[in-house]
A and B are shown apart, each in its own frame.
Chain A
Amino acid sequence: MKRSMTVTLVLSGVLASGCDDQPGSNAASWAYGDDQTITNNTYAPGYGYWHAPYRRWFPYPYNYFDAGRGYYHGGFYSAEPFASPITASRAAGLSAGGRPGASGGGISRGGFGRGFSGRS
């Protein structure tokens, strides 16, 4: 079988919702603050269950088992439960090492991007 079974566009096509309250959204994270960790399967009404390795909310619990499809994690099903060492994660500022703007200035920009003349 060479052909994709489905090509679903969530962001980039006409079906793009542009909403932040879809499954997989981080929109409920505001309620937890930048530095608060959320454990797997924490439930937020209207948003769903927190999947810590993915740092997002999903409509089903982490590693929820469906007899026909397997174990649900990160928006997908797999035959085995997803065994990630990450059982809790922060809702925001995940990679920041601090809140937005925490560096106190001195940040330089424009160091890349001056050579554009096409790609391949």
Chain B
Amino acid sequence: MNRVRTSPRRDWQARVEEVGLLHHSPEGEKYWDESAYYELTAREVDTLEKAANDLHEMCLAAAQHVLDNHVFACLGIPVEAVPGILRSWERDDFSLYGRFDLAYDGSGPPKLLEYNADTPTALVEAAVAQWYWLEDTNRHADQFNSIHERLVAAWKRLAPATDGKMYLGGVKDQLEDERTVLYLEDTCSQAGLMTGRLFIEDLGFDPARGKFVDLQAAVVGDYFKLYPWEWMWREEFSRHLQSDRCRFVEPMWKMLLSNKGLLPVLWQMFPDHPNLLPAYFAEEALRQNQPAAAENGYVKKPRLSREGANVTIMEHGAVVEETSGDYDGEGYIWQAMAPRADFDGNHPVFGVWVVNHEACGLGIREDTARITGNTSRFVPHLF
């Protein structure tokens, strides 16, 4: 694997905006960065693809373990959500996508950092912007990226089960969310479904009919929400989630996967698996069972944090890096440090996309800091 410096396309801002990536330079900071790209080998792509497929299967097994053993509290899942999760799981409710974040440098096996299984973003850049970048710059090279056609195919699989219309929405006034939802609406439309955009704040509830409704009071039977389940369960309309009034995408059972509490469960079920890092629910357990990790480095992560918030890196008993955030009230997990990939001082994280339960694409984000956050740059790749 190489990180190759290159000249950005002369009109790169216009080019990425043309394909829907408007949030390329938030607050003047470079987010889309084509001054370099990662060059992988086909073997490395195969390795990432296999790791993500294996991990997805293992995550489903871990979810079943949580359900069978009723250890929802370990994941910080509210008890009132459990019946709905069980029903959603038993029905095998449709899941569109997710993104594994993996540590990898091309030498050892990829290591799971977390699974963004509910509301993954960085989709437009992975599925579209880097595909067009490749078309413009290296059209004879390949790219681990069939995300777009897999999304269309996934919606087509869902279509017969719907009433023909899919609503999609996230929160208002968030450019990245709006672009992500618009892109997903595009794929949904290309699959033959009627679509409607509906911000989650505008989702209504009609007590007379016992249904969620849109702004014209039409029933919302199917709704793609770019909004986390754990927040929904804290809010006023959570009482309407007790009965299955609407098919939400992602489904409720994804709460089991989009939770770093799953990492210790995975390690317990698959100890020493090459794609896992040792992880525990208690710091003392990690220190006792992984003395080398305790000495060389480990990470404290909130069970439900996002965008790298509230993460602390410990080395030799001292804090060497930490981030702030609003996620310090849900409990933590402790995970051994992944081998640190370093390319000219940049630390990449490999986001492998899973669509319709199958790995199908890659987006790489890098940072000079060791904790990947919402300002980490997206760098295209090829092989």
Contact = CB atoms under 8 A, between A and B. Distances in A.
Interface stretch (B89-97, B124-132, B262-270, B277-285): B124-132
B149 interface: yes
Q: Which of B20, B118, B326 is most buried by chain A, counting CB atoms within 10 A of its CB?
A: B20
Interface in A93-120: 93-98, 100-104, 106-120
B171 A116 contact: yes
Given A103-B206, A113-B201, A95 B189 contact: no
Interface residues of B, number: 87
Given A116-B171, A119-B228, A108 B186 contact: no
Contact of A2 (B45, B118, B132): B45
Interface stretch (B65-73, B75-83, B192-200, B286-294): B192-200
Contacts of B28: none
Report the interface size class on chain A: 35 or more
Contact of B192 (A7, A74, A103, A113): A74
B296 interface: no
B190 A53 contact: no
Chain A interface secondary structure, helix, strand, loop or mixed?
loop
Nearest to B205: A108
Interface in A1-55: 1-14, 24, 26, 51, 53-55
Given A109-B204, A112-B201, A12 B185 contact: yes
A89 interface: yes
B351 to A, nearest CB: 10
B219 A95 contact: yes
B163 interface: yes
Given A12-B20, A111-B240, A96 B218 contact: yes
Interface of B: 17-20, 45, 49, 99, 114, 116, 118-121, 124, 127-128, 131-132, 134, 142-149, 156, 159-160, 163-165, 171-172, 174, 177, 179, 182-183, 185-186, 189-194, 199-209, 211, 213, 216-222, 225-228, 231-232, 234-237, 240, 258, 306-307, 309, 325-326, 374, 383
A-B pairs, 3 with minimum CB distance: A111-B237, A74-B192, A100-B216
